């Protein structure tokens, strides 16, 4: 069944879900969802995939014969903590964590953005979908990573430092924030940002 405004309206009515609740689930503003439902704005393919999963659950197939995944959402309150600790807690109490729909495969979990150091590309309130990598094998310089450091979780563009193979330079996209270096010995894990989902 094709995802249309009428399909969404019928589902919300049947399940007793408000437009606000659905908007939060799929990562758009309430006004944007309202525009989809009134036909004032075309529903993008990525949003259709999220809606298809929400409406038709695990049995629904999205385009390209892929299935949307539910991934754990790291709460903002945990951002001062460690991703390693979060991963351990997830294994022990996986069913207790809030989950969101990911339109792409091979994602470990999602983290909400707090602050404006990575604005405008990664605005506050956006969610980044991340996957752990083996930084000893390969780091794609100039790309954005979430670093699990001894001082907490940070999201930055990562650059090499000339003459310092044991550290990386962490660069904010917002020019108001100065770059800083972090040594590998203080990093518990590198997580590549695969996608950002932001409210429009």
Residue 133: CATH number of its domain: 2.10.109.10
Mean pLDDT of 90-107: 71
What average pLDDT score do residues 67-96 get?
A: 64
pLDDT at 64 over 60: no
DSSP string, 39-77: TSSPPPHHHHHHHHHHHHGGG--BGGGB--EEEEB--GG
Instruction: Please name every residue paired with 127 in a beta bridge, in sequence order, or none if there are none.
Output: 112, 197
Quick one: which of 160, 167, 164 has its CA closest to 185?
167
Given a cut of 80, is residue 164 above it in pLDDT? yes
85 and 63 assigned to the same domain: no
Q: Say if CB 199 and CB 126 are below 8 A apart.
A: yes
Residue 60: band (very low, low, confident or very high) from pLDDT cuts 50, 70, 90: very low
Does 179 have pLDDT greater than 80?
yes
Q: Could you say which of 13, 42, 67 is where a domain stops?
A: 67
Residue 20's domain is classified under what CATH number?
A: 1.10.260
Provide the sign of the torsion angle of the four alpha carbons 44, 128, 24, 7, taken in this order.
positive
Q: Are residues 99 and 25 in the same domain?
A: no
Model confidence pLDDT, tens digit, residues 43-59: 888 788 777 766 765 33
Taking residue 112's Cβ as centre, other Cβ atoms within 10 Å add up to: 16
Label residue 65 by pLDDT band (50, 70, 90).
very low
Q: Which of 12-16, 21-25, 148-152, 155-159 has the highest mean pLDDT?
A: 155-159
Domain that includes residue 179, residue range: 70-197
24: pLDDT strictly greater than 50: yes
Q: Do residues 130 and 111 make contact, with C-beta atoms less than 8 angstroms apart?
A: yes
Rounded Cα–Cα distance for residues 31 and 19 (Å): 9
Q: Give the whole-angstrom CA distance, residue 4 versus residue 9.
A: 9
Same domain, 56 and 82: no
The DSSP result for 68-129, as a single string, is -EEEEB--GGGTTS-HHHHHHHHHHSGGGS-EEEESSSS--EEEE--SSTTTTTS-TT-EEE
- pLDDT computed for residue 104 by the predictor: 79
**Is-contact 110 130, C-beta < 8 A?**
yes
């Amino acid at each position: 069944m094709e995802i249309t405004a009428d399909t969404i309206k019928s589902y919300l009515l049947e399940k007793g879900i408000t437009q606000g609740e659905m908007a939060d689930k799929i990562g758009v503003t309430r006004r944007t969802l309202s525009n989809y439902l009134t036909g004032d704005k075309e529903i993008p393919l990525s949003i259709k995939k999220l809606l298809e999963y929400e409406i038709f659950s695990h049995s629904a197939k999205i385009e390209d014969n892929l299935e949307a995944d539910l991934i754990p959402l790291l709460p903002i309150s945990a951002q001062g903590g460690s991703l390693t600790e979060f991963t351990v807690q997830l294994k022990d109490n996986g069913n207790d964590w809030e989950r969101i729909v990911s339109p792409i495969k091979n994602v470990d979990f999602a983290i909400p953005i707090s602050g404006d150091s990575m604005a405008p590309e990664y605005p506050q309130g956006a969610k980044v979908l991340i996957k752990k990598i083996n930084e000893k094998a390969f780091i794609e310089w100039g790309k954005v990573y979430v670093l699990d450091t001894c001082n907490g979780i940070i999201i930055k563009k990562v650059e090499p430092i000339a003459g310092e193979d044991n550290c990386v330079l962490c660069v904010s996209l917002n020019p108001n924030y100065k770059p800083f270096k972090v040594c590998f010995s203080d990093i518990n894990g590198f997580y590549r940002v695969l996608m950002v989902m932001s409210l429009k």
